[in-house]
Chains A and B, each alone.
Chain A
Amino acid sequence: MRNILGGFIVALAVILFVSSLILIFVRDNAQKSSLWLEHYKSHDSVSHLHHAAALDPYNPELWALVPDSAPESLLARRIRQSLQRQGAEPLSKNIVP
């Protein structure tokens, strides 16, 4: 049992070491998606929005940008209201086509 448990602990230590390096040096998709959204806001290019959606379609900032005229507008409105309740900044851009 000692050898099995010892091996398991060594494996855990190695996993933690690799995880720590990933956590320090690699951005997660949500962070990357937010960066693309920032680019979108500053450059006004929809392809940036596309990258943001591909990386993290569940990013609430992204939903807030989707126009009310799109299908399921009720849902979009609910999300926007929820975000505003949470203290999100009001949208500076109107991207309704």
Chain B
Amino acid sequence: MNRYFFEQALYIYAALHIFSATLILITPESRFITGIISLLWALLSTALALWLWERLIFLARQTRDDNRALPQKLLAGMDRQYIYNQGLHALKSLNSIVLYVFIGGLFYVSAALWSSFAPVVYPPLEKLNEQISAYLLTQGLAGYVQDDYYFFFPVAIQQIAPLVIIGLSFWMAQIFTYGARQGRMVLIVLLGIFAIVFLKLIWSASDLIIDTSRVPSQLWQGYGWGRIGILQALGAAPDTQLSAFQIRVFETGLSGALLSLLPACAAFLVLLRNVLAKEGQVPSGCLGFAVLLILAYADFYMAYNPDMLGLWLSGWSALSILCIYQKQGMRKIYRIYQ
């Protein structure tokens, strides 16, 4: 894989964002559609990860087997064009911002898995199982054991796949911003998609601010991923529209819901640092705060809609670019005096 692949991958990345958002907006939520989107993102991210791995190996070889004399070493180090052409700038994408966001996401996934492995069982749900069991017994079918039922794995995959897509897209946005000449162009595409999806969500929402007062305050461990429909039918959760955050509280507990805010906190602190550190960062910082605010509003106050995946995908990718601390206004000029 060479540099041409990387330059083309930028356009594939932008096209994939447009394709994913279109598919999410025009088709109803289904496992198949999520699978297709996941497959395309997996292919692109695997290709880019391998390309970056190759760059890492190249860099390690360069530094290990460098037997050149010091002047030649210095000259090679000064050759910015060489570093750029070898794609070494893209290695900056493996930075602490990505690490913070990934660790935050990992905490949330761990809490959600814990809740799903050992969920709180709502008492009427247990009685319902007994009721079904009793009915099957009256029909002469004694083999029914409710413990046989194990739905955790497929449901967990359906919940984790979108999170992984968002995480990888977050990282890829950085790789292109650091390494490609037209990297910043992606930001315009992402903000365009973000605005369209947000307007569509507002257009289709019946209430712009839903009632979020009914959230259990003591439910630290949740009922498990994918159970909100059951809880609503049984009366454990309000039988009205719920926000994404409320659903997380019921499914993953307060611990999971609070941990899910960690990546947003990390992004907020990075943006704050950028704005306070340098005046030139104020416009991109404010834009980042606006994106974060819209994401928070949609998460807390809008009724959950599967189309929100498009908002999260484009929003987090745009945030990734806006979190980058730009070093502007200073350029090192190397000159050799003979």
Contact = CB atoms under 8 A, between A and B. Distances in A.
Interface residues of A, number: 53
Interface in A23-65: 23-31, 46-47, 49-50, 53-58, 60, 62-63
B265 to A, nearest CB: 20
Contacts of A75: 124, 127-128, 131, 234
Interface stretch (B72-80, B94-102, B285-293, B300-308): B94-102
A5 B18 CA distance: 27
Residue from B127, B141, B160, B233 with most neighbouring chain A CB atoms (10 Å): B233
B141 A46 contact: yes
A91 interface: no
B38 A57 contact: no
Q: For the complex, would chain B's binding face be called helix, strand, loop or mixed by DSSP majority? A: helix
Interface residues of B, number: 66
Q: For the complex, would chain A's binding face be called helix, strand, loop or mixed by DSSP majority? A: helix
B195 to A, nearest CB: 27
Contact of B234 (A10, A49, A79): A79
Contact of B128 (A3, A21, A30, A72): A72
A12 B105 CA distance: 12
B233 A2 contact: no
Given A9-B49, A60-B233, A79-B234, A19 B98 contact: no
Interface of A: 1-3, 5-6, 8-10, 12-17, 19-31, 46-47, 49-50, 53-58, 60, 62-63, 66-67, 70-72, 75-76, 78-79, 82-83, 85, 97
Given A5-B94, A19-B161, A58-B227, 9 more contacts: A6-B49, A19-B42, A22-B35, A28-B158, A50-B141, A63-B128, A66-B132, A72-B130, A79-B234
A-B pairs, top 6 by smallest CB distance, nearest first, are: A23-B35, A20-B38, A24-B35, A20-B39, A28-B154, A17-B42
